[in-house]
Amino acid sequence: MLEPKAQPADGVLRINMGPQHPATHGVISFMVETDGEIMRKATPDVGFLHRGVEKMAEITSYPGFMPYTDRVDYLASMFANHGYAMAVERLLALEVPRKAQYLRVIADELNRIASHLVATGTMAMDLGAFTPFTHWIRERESINDFMELICGARLTYNYLRVGGVCADWPVGLTEKILLWLDHFEPIIDEFNRLITGNEIFINRLANVAVIPGAMAVDWALSGPNLRASGVPFDLRRCQPYSVYPELQFDLAVGTGSRGTVGDCYDRFWVRIVEMRESCRMLRQLLAGIPEGDFKAKVGRTIKVPAGEVYSAVESARGEIGYYLVADGTDRPVRVKIRTGSFTAVALVEPISRGLMLADLVAVIGSLDIVAPEIDR
Amino acid sequence: MDVREIFQRLEAKLGSVGLALAQPAAGDPSITVPAARLRDACRFLKSDPDLAFDYLRCVSGVDLKDRMESVYHLFSTQRSHGVVLKVVLDRGNPEVDSVEPVWKSANWFERESFDLLGIRYLGHSNLVRVMMPGDWVGHPLRKDYVEQEHYHGIPTTRPDPVGGEDA
């Protein structure tokens, strides 16, 4: 957190945006130095939601830490579950049943759609277009219903277990999701007519806060933000895990369709395209859920052999990685969680220079920052 | 490229300065680099066209009670391979050169390690706390960390509302 500072004497005004500003997507603050409407720079001030999740991991058993991972990113907790489960399984050299792999990836892709709905919806809302958000929230509600059937929770899922998932696939859910996909895919077109192609919206985003590909890689930007900068990097493709190698999907990469590659509009557009690709993957997955166990046989107490592993999955907000150090007991020595929002928020300061103050909202929205994921 | 080949190239470049390759049966292999040569090693790993480690995905500090480690997970977006670098640090005086001049992403990663474990990254452009307030005492992820009882007169603990033994 930043130290209080006096106003500078050279005519620059130093103001706080946040930590309770509605457009900062959670409790996060920006120390903005402005010259009229022009920003000199915006310095992120984070830590308001620091709960010490990594410290809690060290005093919790391996299976007991799973619900804590939900709280790392409340909009995409399935990925946080997945990365952690994979880390423990790799050290245990535990084979996860194929059916469980399928159920995990179905849940991941549903969660990706839900998360991108919030990301693109709130981004439009922050820029003054309220209606698209209400459309998206209606669609997200269906996904919440599915999640409730899958695991009993609508937000913090705690669905994954070391070795599989917590429950078998509900009877009749496949048909429900397929019906919803038939309904949802045309809704994306409707959404595009409503806002994606809207001239005012485009003008607010095109050519704003351009992040060139080389800069994005240097700052370890990940996920849709990195791909929007024209870098075709996706862990599902470049470091494939679970059943992703068997799925057909295209990477959404920024093309500068309305302005420059890596601008705010590209970051918005990439997420719209990714939702379509997720629908495509869901259809493939739902057509082929194999028979078998949904969880491998794992004892109640898990002792992980000494060793260390870094396991990462492609979350809706980029790479969520777990660096896990184990010493042979039933508790980890260290769990370090690398998140997409953490590297994204670091980039705000270098790209904010010279932007209009009102564009800061577009930048934060386009980077899809979620505060608890930064602070952990 | 597998880790043995990366290790050999690194050794050929830096000479025998005490590099060590660990390939455990379970988990990831890693290369331990002496703290004094970390930045040289990183510069080489990034600039060599066959290695091309352009992406620093994570920096983690680890407190192992008898020593500390700063761990770097590197990746190459061009070659799609990764490597883990490690530096072993003196627990009483954990210092190592910052790799921020090599990868910008180290800026915030190293700030976090400094904040939560007290590892000092020399040559960092802005090594200040990122999560905890600037006047917080101690580094919470150290194994011997004891939380201060008060912060600006506010107690950091409270009585258990359901009347348990420990507050």
CA distance A49 to chain B (A): 9
pLDDT attached to residue B165:
62
Q: Which residues of A touch B24 (CB under 8 A)?
A: 307
What is the torsion angle, in degrees rounded to the nearest 10, for the CA atoms of residue B38, residue B42, residue B43 and residue B48? 140
Beta-carbon count within 10 A of B76 CB: 20
Share of chain B above pLDDT 70, in %: 98
Residue B22 predicted with pLDDT over 90: no
Q: Which residues of A touch B129 (CB under 8 A)?
A: 1, 47
pLDDT attached to residue A3:
65
CB A366 within 8 A of CB A117: no
CA distance B36 to chain A (A): 23
Closest residue by Cα to residue A95 from A247, A242, A237:
A242
- Return all residues near A100 (Cβ < 8 A) that are at least 6 apart: A163, A164, A165, A293, A294, A295, A296
Interface pTM, i.e. ipTM: 0.88
State whether the Cα torsion A376-A108-A321-B74 is positive or negative: negative
Mean pLDDT of the residues in chain B:
88
Residue-wise pLDDT for B92-130, tens only, equals 899 999 999 999 999 999 999 999 999 999 999 999 999
Among A133-142, A285-294, B12-21, the least confident range: B12-21
Q: Which residues of A touch B82 (CB under 8 A)?
A: 239
pLDDT attached to residue A371:
86
Residue B138 predicted with pLDDT over 80: yes
Instruction: Please tell me the CATH code under which domain B3-155 is placed.
Output: 3.30.460.80
Mutate to test the interface with B, among A336, A339, A342, A369 (most CBs of B within 10 A): A336
Q: Which residues of B touch A333 (CB under 8 A)?
A: 62, 64
Residue-wise pLDDT for A64-115, tens only, equals 999 999 999 889 999 999 999 999 999 998 889 999 999 999 999 999 999 9
Q: Catalogue the E-assigned strands of chain B.
A: 20-22, 30-32, 55-63, 68-75, 82-89, 95-97, 120-122, 150-151, 154-155
| Contact between chains at A46 and B131 (C-beta distance less than 8 A) | yes
| Contact between chains at A323 and B60 (C-beta distance less than 8 A) | yes
Nearest CA in chain A to B99: A218
Per-residue DSSP letter, A8: P
Of B84, B105, B130, the CB nearest to A343: B105
pLDDT attached to residue A139:
92
Closest residue by Cα to residue A51 from B142, B127, B132:
B132
Residue-wise pLDDT for A45-74, tens only, equals 888 889 989 999 999 999 999 999 999 988
Residue A286 predicted with pLDDT over 70: yes
Mean pLDDT of the residues in chain A:
89
pLDDT band at A4 (very low <50, low <70, confident <90, very high): low
* Secondary element (H or E) of residue A33: strand A29-35
Of A222, A343, A375, the CB nearest to B131: A375
Of A90, A219, A323, the CB nearest to B105: A219
pLDDT attached to residue A9:
66
CB A181 within 8 A of CB A279: yes
Spell out the domain ranges in chain B: 3-155
Residue A1 predicted with pLDDT over 70: no
* Cα-only R_g, chain A: 21
CB contact, 8 Å: A241 with chain B?
no
Instruction: Please tell me the CATH code under which domain A59-304 is placed.
Output: 1.10.645.10
pLDDT attached to residue B167:
45
